[in-house]
Structure 1
């Protein structure tokens, strides 16, 4: 990420990571995108439930 910022490909490391995530996601088939989105939502729901139970 730091190299991306130094070389001017990204304004921040956080932005660079977001760019890489977007590029990766767009390279997937529609089916793979749906599967990944569902998995992310499932994991985020699990994390939210863990926080609520504490």
Structure 2
């Protein structure tokens, strides 16, 4: 579980909700870890789009 919780903008949260519930916690953690590594303070749809391949394990 993540000690640091990042802010999420409304659109990014809506996109997160579209991820199946059984993998959503893992996806959220992976997205937050990538955002922290990139120096982001807020998860945005733009960040998710720009890092989609990396986040999907490709």
Question: Which band: TM-score by shorter chain?
Answer: 0.3 to 0.5
TM-score scaled by length of structure 2: 0.34
Task: Pick the structure with more helix per residue.
Answer: 1
Greater RCO, CA 8 A, separation 6+: 2
For the pair shown, which has the larger CA radius of gyration, 1 or 2? 1
Task: Pick the structure with more strand per residue.
Answer: 2
